[in-house]
Amino acid sequence: MLPLYLLNSIKGEPIMVELKRGDTMNGVLTNCDSWMNITLKDVVVSDAHGENFYKVKDIYIKGIHIKYITMSNELIDKFREEQNREKEHYHHHLNNNYNNNNNGGFQRRGGGYR
């Protein structure tokens, strides 16, 4: 739901990061933290003028230097679907727990030993 939560959920997806300076980095998001520091892999870096391109295997970007991050439009839909599934799963899980506790009680009363 929160922007950083979304960032966390798209690990493994290709994204484009633009820094405040104007440099752009296209790569796969491997990790991120609550300060928006991120690590990317298989990155193509280019400067603000778009003149030079560098291929870098791993890169660490400090969050404070980021202007924005761009990702595919479908990722949000995927993210929302997962959220809804998790919500349903959570409610289902709660109901199951309730039932299991009841059964557990029964078993204890029924037998003498385990």
Partner 1 sequence: MSNTSEEDLYLQSYAFTTAAAIIGSVDRKVIVTLWDGRTLVGVLRTFDQFANLVIHDGVERIYLLDKKQYAESSKPQTYLIRGENVVMMGELDIDKEDEPLEGLERIEFKDAQKIWKSRCQEAIDKNTEESTIFHDNGIFGAACTLY
Position of tokens 């009680």? Answer: 105
CA contacts within 13 A on the Cβ side of 32: 23
Q: Among 58, 62, 76, 85, which residue interacts with partner 1 (rule: CB under 8 A)? A: 76
- Would you give the DSSP letter of residue 49? T
CA distance to 14, 62, 106, per residue, from 70 (Å): 9, 16, 55
Assess 36 for contact with partner 1 (CB under 8 A).
yes
Assess 45 for contact with partner 1 (CB under 8 A).
no
Assess 59 for contact with partner 1 (CB under 8 A).
no
Assess 67 for contact with partner 1 (CB under 8 A).
yes
CA contacts within 13 A on the Cβ side of 99: 6
Beta-bridge partners for 38: 32, 61
Assess 44 for contact with partner 1 (CB under 8 A).
no
Give me the least distance between CB of 56 and partner 1, in Å please. 21
Assess 14 for contact with partner 1 (CB under 8 A).
no
Interacting residues with partner 1 (CB under 8 A)? 1-4, 6-7, 20, 22, 36, 63, 66-73, 75-76
